[in-house]
């Protein structure tokens, strides 16, 4: 009886291993083209000043929602970030409204010149003072006007402070 049970477990194990390997092959064949964060906010307009005026992003799509923006896509080169208002999201996916309003996002952006970012963000509330990490990043973090933490890092650079 134990032999049959062990044989059965062996067949189940080999079958599950084959299935998981097939799943991995399917996943490996999928190519991710882009990952774009969508940040949910009470108002989009203050965030435009942060990304457009200070960091040089350009709005590529805007969707009004009453007197305000309900959605915006901002782009700089190959980078993209999206903002959607809580009100617009509640209309778009009502079942997710409570989840959306309760969350904040933390973004980690690798940059080529951290000092230029620090200069551009003078006057913005700093939440992570400039530091050098154990993995060699020179980092600095702020909050966007909606309260999302945005951490900027220059990898392998000697700190300038």
pLDDT of the residue at 158: 57
d(CA 150, CA 118): 12
Position with higher pLDDT, 140 vs 18: 140
pLDDT of the residue at 28: 61
d(CA 63, CA 53): 20
d(CA 85, CA 25): 38
85: left (phi over 0), alpha (psi -120 to 50) or beta: beta
pLDDT category, 99, cuts 50, 70, 90?
confident
Give the residue among 97, 94, 83 at the shortest CA–CA distance from 41.
Answer: 83
Q: What is the DSSP letter of 77?
A: T
Q: What is the pLDDT of residues 62-79, one digit of tens each?
A: 999 999 999 999 999 999
pLDDT of the residue at 6: 41
Name the CATH topology of 104-161.
3.30.720
**Domain residue ranges in the chain:** 32-103, 104-161
| Residue 122 main-chain phi, psi, to 5 deg | -55, 135
pLDDT category, 97, cuts 50, 70, 90?
confident
Give the burial class of 59: count Cβ atoms within 10 A of its Cβ; 0-12 exposed, 13-18 middle, 19 or more buried. Answer: middle
pLDDT of the residue at 100: 79
Q: What is the pLDDT of residues 40-50, one digit of tens each?
A: 999 999 999 99
- Residue 49 tokens read as 């000043």
Asked whether the predicted pLDDT for residue 119 surpasses 60, the reply is yes
- CATH number of the 32-103 domain: 3.10.180.10
pLDDT of the residue at 21: 54
pLDDT of the residue at 148: 87
Give 76's contacts (C-beta < 8 A, 6+ positions apart).
Answer: 55, 56, 57, 58
pLDDT of the residue at 106: 86
pLDDT of the residue at 75: 96
Asked whether the predicted pLDDT for residue 5 surpasses 60, the reply is no
């Amino acid at each position: 009886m134990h032999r049959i049970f062990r044989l059965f477990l062996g067949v189940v194990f080999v079958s599950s291993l084959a299935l998981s390997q097939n799943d991995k092959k399917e996943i490996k064949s999928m190519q991710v083209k882009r990952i774009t964060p969508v940040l949910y906010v009470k108002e989009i307009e203050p965030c435009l000043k942060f990304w457009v005026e200070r960091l040089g992003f350009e709005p590529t799509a805007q969707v009004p929602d009453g007197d305000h923006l309900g959605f915006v896509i901002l782009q700089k080169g190959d980078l993209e970030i999206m903002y959607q208002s809580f009100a617009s999201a509640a209309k778009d996916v009502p079942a997710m409204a409570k989840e959306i309003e309760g969350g904040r996002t933390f973004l980690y952006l690798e940059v080529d010149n951290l000092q230029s970012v620090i200069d551009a963000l003078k006057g913005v509330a700093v939440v992570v003072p400039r530091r050098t990490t154990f993995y060699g990043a020179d980092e600095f973090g702020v909050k966007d006007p909606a309260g999302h933490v945005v951490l900027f890092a220059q990898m392998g650079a000697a700190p300038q402070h």
